[in-house]
């Protein structure tokens, strides 16, 4: 397994819409393992393929707390097929926007259809943190960041901060 470098805001790659995965094979399963390893190393609880520069519709999640046994989940071509009217608010962060957190309101429950790492069609009804995490990562696959769900003023400040940091690193 290989830890991949993370794409960080303001890299325009994060705004790309990811393409559906045509077939599940050993290479894709290796990519899933690399993504999980990268996510654990960061550390984070979710990672979309675009965050390591691959515009493919795949994400990984593990909500196990520190000290608990790992519970890795792989979602290939995930699609939200329904979402509740009820809303919930979570403080979200993102591996591609390090050390920035903001409260985001999203549907409290979602149903997601996807392929598992063996290529079998699955469906999950999620609520709580899993629902939030799935929506956050699926947003990534559509070129949407969690900061797109906060006020324009806060978003502009975050983008400005990360753009300035990227320019100073480039010098």
Residues annotated as catalytic (active site), given as ranges: 137
Q: How far is CA 133 from CA 35, 39, 97, 106, 145, in A?
A: 15, 13, 15, 10, 12
For 110-149, the DSSP string reads EEEEEE-TTS-EEEEEEEHHHHHHHHHHHHHHTT--GGGG
Q: How far is CA 51 from the centre of its chain?
A: 7
């Amino acid at each position: 397994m290989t830890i991949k470098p993370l794409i960080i805001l303001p890299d325009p790659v994060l705004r790309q819409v990811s393409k559906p995965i045509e077939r599940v094979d050993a290479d894709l399963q290796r990519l899933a393992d690399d993504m999980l390893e990268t996510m654990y190393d960061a550390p984070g609880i979710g990672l979309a393929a675009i965050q390591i520069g691959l515009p493919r519709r795949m994400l990984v999640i593990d909500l196990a707390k520190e000290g608990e046994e790992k519970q890795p989940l792989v979602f290939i071509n995930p699609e939200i097929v329904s979402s509740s009217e009820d809303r919930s608010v979570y403080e979200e962060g993102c591996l591609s926007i390090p050390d920035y957190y903001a409260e985001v309101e999203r549907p409290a429950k979602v149903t997601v259809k996807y392929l598992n790492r063996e290529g079998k069609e699955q469906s999950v009804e999620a609520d709580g943190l899993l629902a939030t995490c799935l929506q956050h990562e699926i947003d990534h696959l559509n070129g949407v960041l969690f900061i797109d769900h906060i006020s324009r003023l806060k978003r502009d400040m975050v983008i400005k901060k990360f753009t300035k940091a990227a320019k100073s690193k480039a010098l």
